[in-house]
A and B are shown apart, each in its own frame.
Chain A
Protein backbone atom coordinates (compact mmCIF):
# COMPACT_ATOMS: atom_id res chain seq x y z
CA UNK A 1 0.00 0.00 0.00
CA UNK A 2 2.86 2.31 0.83
CA UNK A 3 4.04 2.02 -2.78
CA UNK A 4 0.98 3.85 -4.11
CA UNK A 5 0.39 7.56 -3.75
CA UNK A 6 -3.06 8.75 -2.66
CA UNK A 7 -3.66 9.83 -6.24
CA UNK A 8 -2.71 6.41 -7.58
CA UNK A 9 -4.98 4.63 -5.13
CA UNK A 10 -7.86 6.70 -6.39
CA UNK A 11 -6.87 6.57 -10.07
CA UNK A 12 -6.52 2.79 -10.10
CA UNK A 13 -9.23 2.01 -7.54
CA UNK A 14 -11.48 0.23 -10.04
CA UNK A 15 -8.59 -2.00 -11.01
CA UNK A 16 -7.50 -2.67 -7.44
CA UNK A 17 -11.04 -3.64 -6.47
CA UNK A 18 -10.98 -6.43 -9.06
CA UNK A 19 -10.11 -9.66 -7.35
CA UNK A 20 -7.88 -10.70 -10.26
CA UNK A 21 -5.91 -7.44 -10.18
CA UNK A 22 -5.55 -5.94 -6.71
CA UNK A 23 -2.58 -3.83 -5.66
CA UNK A 24 -0.14 -6.49 -6.80
CA UNK A 25 -1.63 -6.59 -10.28
CA UNK A 26 -1.63 -2.81 -10.54
CA UNK A 27 2.03 -2.76 -9.54
CA UNK A 28 2.75 -5.26 -12.32
CA UNK A 29 1.06 -2.96 -14.82
CA UNK A 30 3.06 0.03 -13.61
CA UNK A 31 6.30 -1.94 -13.98
CA UNK A 32 5.44 -3.35 -17.40
CA UNK A 33 6.72 -2.28 -20.81
CA UNK A 34 4.57 -2.60 -23.90
CA UNK A 35 5.47 -1.78 -27.51
CA UNK A 36 2.70 -0.62 -29.84
CA UNK A 37 3.55 -0.86 -33.52
CA UNK A 38 1.45 1.75 -35.32
CA UNK A 39 -0.25 4.75 -33.73
CA UNK A 40 -3.22 4.49 -36.08
CA UNK A 41 -6.67 2.93 -36.01
CA UNK A 42 -5.75 -0.02 -33.80
CA UNK A 43 -2.88 1.64 -31.96
CA UNK A 44 -5.14 4.47 -30.83
CA UNK A 45 -7.54 2.53 -28.59
CA UNK A 46 -4.68 0.30 -27.46
CA UNK A 47 -2.57 3.31 -26.51
CA UNK A 48 -5.40 5.08 -24.76
CA UNK A 49 -6.46 2.08 -22.68
CA UNK A 50 -2.93 0.97 -21.80
CA UNK A 51 -2.01 4.50 -20.73
CA UNK A 52 -5.18 4.83 -18.69
CA UNK A 53 -4.51 1.43 -17.14
CA UNK A 54 -1.11 2.59 -15.92
CA UNK A 55 1.17 0.47 -18.09
CA UNK A 56 4.38 2.13 -16.96
CA UNK A 57 6.34 2.29 -20.21
CA UNK A 58 4.71 2.31 -23.61
CA UNK A 59 6.81 2.36 -26.77
CA UNK A 60 5.20 3.69 -29.93
CA UNK A 61 6.48 2.94 -33.42
CA UNK A 62 5.20 5.14 -36.22
CA UNK A 63 6.97 7.09 -38.92
CA UNK A 64 3.92 8.93 -40.25
CA UNK A 65 2.48 12.37 -39.63
CA UNK A 66 -1.16 12.99 -38.73
CA UNK A 67 -3.32 13.34 -41.83
CA UNK A 68 -6.87 14.67 -41.97
CA UNK A 69 -8.11 11.30 -43.28
CA UNK A 70 -6.76 9.61 -40.12
CA UNK A 71 -9.01 11.45 -37.70
CA UNK A 72 -12.16 9.49 -38.56
CA UNK A 73 -10.78 6.58 -36.48
CA UNK A 74 -7.35 7.37 -35.04
CA UNK A 75 -8.58 8.80 -31.76
CA UNK A 76 -5.13 9.43 -30.28
CA UNK A 77 -4.83 12.47 -32.53
CA UNK A 78 -6.79 15.70 -32.87
CA UNK A 79 -7.37 18.26 -35.59
CA UNK A 80 -4.77 20.47 -33.93
CA UNK A 81 -2.19 17.70 -34.52
CA UNK A 82 -2.46 17.73 -38.32
CA UNK A 83 0.98 17.44 -39.85
CA UNK A 84 2.67 16.51 -36.58
CA UNK A 85 4.47 13.18 -36.15
CA UNK A 86 1.95 10.63 -34.86
CA UNK A 87 4.43 9.43 -32.25
CA UNK A 88 4.57 12.83 -30.62
CA UNK A 89 0.88 13.58 -30.91
CA UNK A 90 0.11 10.17 -29.39
CA UNK A 91 2.59 10.68 -26.58
CA UNK A 92 0.96 13.96 -25.63
CA UNK A 93 -2.50 12.40 -25.52
CA UNK A 94 -1.40 9.35 -23.54
CA UNK A 95 0.73 11.20 -21.00
CA UNK A 96 -2.10 13.71 -20.68
CA UNK A 97 -4.45 10.94 -19.62
CA UNK A 98 -1.98 9.48 -17.19
CA UNK A 99 1.24 11.19 -16.05
CA UNK A 100 2.37 7.89 -14.46
CA UNK A 101 3.06 6.61 -17.96
CA UNK A 102 6.29 7.13 -19.87
CA UNK A 103 5.74 7.03 -23.62
CA UNK A 104 8.83 6.26 -25.70
CA UNK A 105 8.48 7.39 -29.32
CA UNK A 106 10.20 5.33 -32.01
CA UNK A 107 9.77 7.59 -35.01
CA UNK A 108 10.94 5.11 -37.58
CA UNK A 109 9.84 2.29 -39.85
CA UNK A 110 10.68 -1.13 -38.54
CA UNK A 111 12.97 -3.16 -40.77
CA UNK A 112 15.15 -6.22 -40.53
CA UNK A 113 18.02 -4.09 -39.23
CA UNK A 114 16.28 -2.43 -36.27
CA UNK A 115 13.35 -4.65 -35.29
CA UNK A 116 15.16 -6.92 -32.82
CA UNK A 117 16.67 -3.97 -30.97
CA UNK A 118 13.35 -2.18 -30.66
CA UNK A 119 11.37 -5.24 -29.58
CA UNK A 120 14.04 -6.35 -27.09
CA UNK A 121 13.20 -3.50 -24.71
CA UNK A 122 9.60 -4.59 -24.14
CA UNK A 123 7.61 -7.33 -22.37
CA UNK A 124 4.64 -7.46 -24.74
CA UNK A 125 4.18 -6.25 -28.32
CA UNK A 126 1.02 -5.03 -30.04
CA UNK A 127 0.76 -5.22 -33.81
CA UNK A 128 -1.37 -2.38 -35.08
CA UNK A 129 0.44 -2.12 -38.39
CA UNK A 130 -1.30 -1.33 -41.64
CA UNK A 131 1.00 -3.30 -43.92
CA UNK A 132 2.18 -6.86 -44.45
CA UNK A 133 5.96 -6.29 -44.36
CA UNK A 134 5.71 -4.89 -40.82
CA UNK A 135 3.25 -7.56 -39.72
CA UNK A 136 5.59 -10.40 -40.72
CA UNK A 137 8.63 -8.62 -39.41
CA UNK A 138 7.04 -8.07 -36.00
CA UNK A 139 5.77 -11.64 -35.82
CA UNK A 140 9.18 -13.06 -36.67
CA UNK A 141 10.99 -10.78 -34.23
CA UNK A 142 8.59 -11.67 -31.41
CA UNK A 143 8.97 -15.41 -32.05
CA UNK A 144 12.77 -15.07 -32.15
CA UNK A 145 12.80 -13.18 -28.86
CA UNK A 146 10.01 -15.09 -27.16
CA UNK A 147 7.83 -11.98 -26.74
CA UNK A 148 4.04 -12.24 -26.49
CA UNK A 149 2.32 -10.45 -29.37
CA UNK A 150 -1.22 -9.25 -29.89
CA UNK A 151 -2.04 -9.32 -33.57
CA UNK A 152 -5.07 -7.78 -35.22
CA UNK A 153 -6.27 -6.64 -38.60
CA UNK A 154 -9.28 -4.62 -39.72
CA UNK A 155 -10.96 -3.87 -43.04
CA UNK A 156 -14.35 -2.38 -43.89
CA UNK A 157 -16.70 -3.68 -41.16
CA UNK A 158 -14.58 -6.65 -40.14
CA UNK A 159 -11.69 -7.45 -37.92
CA UNK A 160 -9.75 -10.33 -36.48
CA UNK A 161 -7.54 -10.62 -33.46
CA UNK A 162 -5.32 -13.28 -31.94
CA UNK A 163 -2.67 -13.55 -29.27
CA UNK A 164 0.68 -15.11 -30.04
CA UNK A 165 2.74 -16.45 -27.18
CA UNK A 166 5.82 -18.16 -28.60
CA UNK A 167 6.10 -21.71 -27.32
CA UNK A 168 2.47 -21.83 -26.19
CA UNK A 169 0.66 -21.71 -29.52
CA UNK A 170 0.81 -20.80 -33.18
CA UNK A 171 2.36 -17.66 -34.61
CA UNK A 172 1.12 -15.46 -37.44
CA UNK A 173 3.05 -17.50 -39.99
CA UNK A 174 1.33 -20.71 -38.83
CA UNK A 175 -1.87 -19.02 -39.93
CA UNK A 176 -0.54 -17.32 -43.07
CA UNK A 177 2.89 -18.78 -43.89
CA UNK A 178 3.74 -16.18 -46.51
CA UNK A 179 2.79 -12.59 -47.20
CA UNK A 180 0.32 -12.13 -50.05
CA UNK A 181 1.72 -10.65 -53.23
CA UNK A 182 1.78 -6.85 -53.01
CA UNK A 183 -1.57 -5.35 -54.02
CA UNK A 184 -3.63 -8.54 -53.64
CA UNK A 185 -5.21 -7.66 -50.30
CA UNK A 186 -6.79 -4.20 -50.29
CA UNK A 187 -5.84 -1.73 -47.57
CA UNK A 188 -8.18 0.45 -45.51
CA UNK A 189 -7.11 3.26 -47.83
CA UNK A 190 -8.68 1.43 -50.75
CA UNK A 191 -11.48 -0.52 -49.14
CA UNK A 192 -12.48 1.75 -46.27
CA UNK A 193 -12.95 1.06 -42.57
CA UNK A 194 -15.72 1.93 -40.17
CA UNK A 195 -13.92 3.90 -37.48
CA UNK A 196 -15.68 2.22 -34.56
CA UNK A 197 -14.54 -1.21 -35.79
CA UNK A 198 -10.96 -0.11 -35.11
CA UNK A 199 -12.10 0.85 -31.60
CA UNK A 200 -13.72 -2.52 -30.93
CA UNK A 201 -10.84 -4.63 -32.21
CA UNK A 202 -8.15 -2.41 -30.68
CA UNK A 203 -9.91 -2.52 -27.33
CA UNK A 204 -9.80 -6.31 -27.46
CA UNK A 205 -6.06 -6.11 -28.07
CA UNK A 206 -5.68 -3.80 -25.07
CA UNK A 207 -7.61 -6.23 -22.86
CA UNK A 208 -5.45 -9.11 -24.08
CA UNK A 209 -2.26 -7.21 -23.27
CA UNK A 210 -3.48 -6.38 -19.77
CA UNK A 211 -4.41 -10.05 -19.22
CA UNK A 212 -0.97 -11.18 -20.38
CA UNK A 213 0.78 -8.77 -18.00
CA UNK A 214 -1.48 -9.74 -15.11
CA UNK A 215 -1.30 -13.46 -15.93
CA UNK A 216 -5.08 -13.89 -15.72
CA UNK A 217 -7.80 -15.49 -17.82
CA UNK A 218 -7.43 -17.22 -21.16
CA UNK A 219 -5.67 -15.20 -23.83
CA UNK A 220 -6.56 -15.78 -27.50
CA UNK A 221 -3.69 -18.25 -27.90
CA UNK A 222 -4.45 -20.65 -30.76
CA UNK A 223 -7.72 -18.85 -31.44
CA UNK A 224 -8.57 -16.30 -34.07
CA UNK A 225 -11.45 -14.10 -32.96
CA UNK A 226 -13.28 -12.88 -36.05
CA UNK A 227 -15.57 -9.86 -35.75
CA UNK A 228 -18.30 -8.92 -38.21
CA UNK A 229 -19.56 -5.43 -37.51
CA UNK A 230 -22.48 -5.60 -39.93
CA UNK A 231 -23.87 -8.75 -38.34
CA UNK A 232 -22.46 -7.56 -35.03
CA UNK A 233 -21.18 -11.03 -34.27
CA UNK A 234 -18.01 -12.71 -33.11
CA UNK A 235 -16.81 -16.18 -33.90
CA UNK A 236 -13.76 -17.95 -32.65
CA UNK A 237 -11.72 -20.12 -35.01
CA UNK A 238 -9.18 -22.56 -33.62
CA UNK A 239 -5.76 -22.24 -35.22
CA UNK A 240 -3.21 -24.99 -34.74
CA UNK A 241 0.51 -24.50 -34.42
CA UNK A 242 2.26 -25.64 -37.59
CA UNK A 243 5.24 -27.87 -36.72
CA UNK A 244 6.60 -26.99 -40.17
CA UNK A 245 6.27 -23.23 -39.61
CA UNK A 246 9.36 -21.49 -41.00
CA UNK A 247 9.68 -19.33 -37.87
CA UNK A 248 8.19 -21.12 -34.86
CA UNK A 249 8.19 -24.69 -36.20
CA UNK A 250 10.28 -27.58 -34.97
CA UNK A 251 13.03 -26.85 -37.48
CA UNK A 252 12.79 -23.13 -38.24
CA UNK A 253 14.28 -21.97 -41.54
CA UNK A 254 13.90 -18.25 -40.85
CA UNK A 255 16.23 -17.48 -37.98
CA UNK A 256 16.91 -13.79 -38.54
CA UNK A 257 14.52 -10.97 -39.48
CA UNK A 258 13.96 -10.58 -43.19
CA UNK A 259 12.34 -7.75 -45.09
CA UNK A 260 9.22 -8.34 -47.14
CA UNK A 261 10.78 -7.36 -50.45
CA UNK A 262 13.75 -9.60 -49.80
CA UNK A 263 11.43 -12.40 -48.75
CA UNK A 264 9.54 -12.14 -52.04
CA UNK A 265 12.72 -11.96 -54.06
CA UNK A 266 14.22 -14.97 -52.32
CA UNK A 267 11.09 -16.99 -52.92
CA UNK A 268 11.74 -16.48 -56.62
CA UNK A 269 15.26 -17.82 -56.35
CA UNK A 270 15.12 -20.30 -53.54
CA UNK A 271 18.23 -22.23 -54.59
CA UNK A 272 20.38 -19.23 -53.90
CA UNK A 273 19.34 -19.23 -50.26
CA UNK A 274 18.09 -22.56 -48.91
CA UNK A 275 17.62 -20.94 -45.48
CA UNK A 276 14.23 -19.53 -46.41
CA UNK A 277 12.92 -22.66 -48.09
CA UNK A 278 9.63 -23.62 -46.48
Chain B
Protein backbone atom coordinates (compact mmCIF):
# COMPACT_ATOMS: atom_id res chain seq x y z
CA UNK B 1 0.00 0.00 0.00
CA UNK B 2 1.37 3.41 -0.98
CA UNK B 3 -1.31 5.23 0.96
CA UNK B 4 -0.06 7.16 3.96
CA UNK B 5 -1.60 6.20 7.24
CA UNK B 6 -3.78 8.82 8.94
CA UNK B 7 -1.87 10.93 11.44
CA UNK B 8 -4.56 10.74 14.06
CA UNK B 9 -8.04 9.47 14.65
CA UNK B 10 -10.95 11.35 16.15
CA UNK B 11 -13.91 9.36 17.42
CA UNK B 12 -16.85 11.69 16.93
CA UNK B 13 -19.62 9.18 17.35
CA UNK B 14 -22.41 10.81 19.31
CA UNK B 15 -21.12 14.32 18.51
CA UNK B 16 -23.85 16.18 16.62
CA UNK B 17 -23.49 18.43 13.58
CA UNK B 18 -21.87 20.87 13.29
CA UNK B 19 -19.68 20.19 16.33
CA UNK B 20 -18.23 17.08 14.71
CA UNK B 21 -16.97 19.21 11.83
CA UNK B 22 -15.78 21.99 14.16
CA UNK B 23 -13.63 19.48 16.06
CA UNK B 24 -12.35 17.97 12.82
CA UNK B 25 -11.50 21.40 11.47
CA UNK B 26 -9.61 22.42 14.62
CA UNK B 27 -7.48 19.30 14.29
CA UNK B 28 -6.90 19.83 10.57
CA UNK B 29 -5.69 23.39 11.26
CA UNK B 30 -2.87 22.00 13.39
CA UNK B 31 -1.69 19.54 10.76
CA UNK B 32 0.80 20.01 7.94
CA UNK B 33 -0.65 20.14 4.42
CA UNK B 34 -0.86 16.69 2.83
CA UNK B 35 -1.20 14.94 6.20
CA UNK B 36 -4.27 12.82 6.89
CA UNK B 37 -6.77 12.44 9.68
CA UNK B 38 -9.38 9.74 10.21
CA UNK B 39 -12.65 10.71 11.84
CA UNK B 40 -15.39 8.32 12.89
CA UNK B 41 -18.85 9.85 12.66
CA UNK B 42 -22.41 8.62 12.93
CA UNK B 43 -24.33 7.56 9.87
CA UNK B 44 -26.93 9.92 8.45
CA UNK B 45 -26.39 13.68 8.60
CA UNK B 46 -22.81 13.54 9.97
CA UNK B 47 -21.67 11.20 7.20
CA UNK B 48 -22.96 13.71 4.63
CA UNK B 49 -22.11 16.99 6.36
CA UNK B 50 -18.55 16.38 7.55
CA UNK B 51 -17.14 15.43 4.12
CA UNK B 52 -19.07 18.24 2.45
CA UNK B 53 -17.68 20.83 4.87
CA UNK B 54 -14.18 19.40 4.45
CA UNK B 55 -14.42 19.62 0.66
CA UNK B 56 -15.76 23.18 0.86
CA UNK B 57 -12.51 24.17 2.58
CA UNK B 58 -10.48 22.42 -0.09
CA UNK B 59 -9.52 19.29 1.82
CA UNK B 60 -9.61 15.92 0.06
CA UNK B 61 -11.72 12.97 1.10
CA UNK B 62 -9.45 9.97 0.70
CA UNK B 63 -12.15 7.46 1.57
CA UNK B 64 -15.29 6.95 3.63
CA UNK B 65 -16.01 3.46 4.88
CA UNK B 66 -19.21 2.36 6.62
CA UNK B 67 -18.53 0.11 9.56
CA UNK B 68 -20.76 -1.08 12.39
CA UNK B 69 -23.30 1.71 12.07
CA UNK B 70 -20.61 4.41 11.87
CA UNK B 71 -18.50 5.86 9.08
CA UNK B 72 -14.70 6.17 9.01
CA UNK B 73 -13.74 9.16 6.93
CA UNK B 74 -10.14 9.77 5.93
CA UNK B 75 -9.39 13.43 5.12
CA UNK B 76 -6.20 14.84 3.60
CA UNK B 77 -5.39 18.37 4.66
CA UNK B 78 -5.38 20.98 1.88
CA UNK B 79 -2.30 22.99 1.01
CA UNK B 80 -3.55 26.11 2.75
CA UNK B 81 -7.00 26.34 4.22
CA UNK B 82 -6.92 30.13 4.41
CA UNK B 83 -9.02 31.75 1.66
B25 at the interface (CB under 8 A from A): yes
The verdict on A9 contacting B23 (CB below 8 Å), with A17-B18, A17-B53, A19-B83 known, is: yes
List chain B residues, Cβ under 8 A from A1: 23, 26-27, 29-30
The verdict on A4 contacting B25 (CB below 8 Å), with A13-B19, A17-B53, A22-B81 known, is: no
- What is the minimal beta-carbon distance from B16 to any residue of chain A, in angstroms? 10
B65 at the interface (CB under 8 A from A): no
A24 at the interface (CB under 8 A from B): yes
A31 at the interface (CB under 8 A from B): no
A16 at the interface (CB under 8 A from B): yes
Which of under 10, 10 to 19, 20 to 34, or 35 or more describes the interface residues of A?
10 to 19
- What is the minimal beta-carbon distance from A224 to any residue of chain B, in angstroms? 27
The verdict on A10 contacting B19 (CB below 8 Å), with A19-B81, A23-B29 known, is: yes
Which single residue of chain A is at the shortest CB-CB distance from B56? A19
Contact with A along B42-62 (1 / 0, CB 8 A): 000000000001001100000
List chain B residues, Cβ under 8 A from A4: 26
CB distance B83 to A16 under 8 Å?
Answer: no
A275 at the interface (CB under 8 A from B): no
The verdict on A23 contacting B53 (CB below 8 Å), with A9-B19, A13-B19, A17-B18 known, is: no
CB distance B81 to A16 under 8 Å?
Answer: no
The verdict on A23 contacting B26 (CB below 8 Å), with A17-B18, A17-B21 known, is: yes
Bound Cα distance from A13 to B82, whole angstroms: 17
Q: Choose one: B22, B30, B56; the contact of A16 (CB below 8 Å).
A: B22
CB distance B18 to A13 under 8 Å?
Answer: yes
The verdict on A9 contacting B26 (CB below 8 Å), with A17-B53, A19-B83 known, is: yes
List chain A residues, Cβ under 8 A from B26: 1, 4, 9, 16, 22-23
Which single residue of chain A is at the shortest CB-CB distance from B21? A17
CB distance A24 to B29 under 8 Å?
Answer: yes
A121 at the interface (CB under 8 A from B): no
List chain A residues, Cβ under 8 A from B25: 16-17, 22-23
CB distance B22 to A9 under 8 Å?
Answer: yes
List chain B residues, Cβ under 8 A from A24: 29
Bound Cα distance from A164 to B53, whole angstroms: 35
- What is the minimal beta-carbon distance from B58 to any residue of chain A, in angstroms? 9
| CB-contacts of B24-45 with A (<8 A) | 25-27, 29-30
Contact with B along A15-34 (1 / 0, CB 8 A): 01101101110000000000
Bound Cα distance from A19 to B83, whole angstroms: 7
Which single residue of chain A is at the shortest CB-CB distance from B29? A23
List chain A residues, Cβ under 8 A from B23: 1, 9
- 18 A-B pairs with CB atoms under 8 Å apart are A1-B23, A1-B26, A1-B29, A4-B26, A9-B19, A10-B19, A13-B18, A13-B19, A16-B26, A17-B18, A17-B25, A19-B56, A19-B57, A20-B83, A22-B25, A22-B29, A22-B81, A23-B26
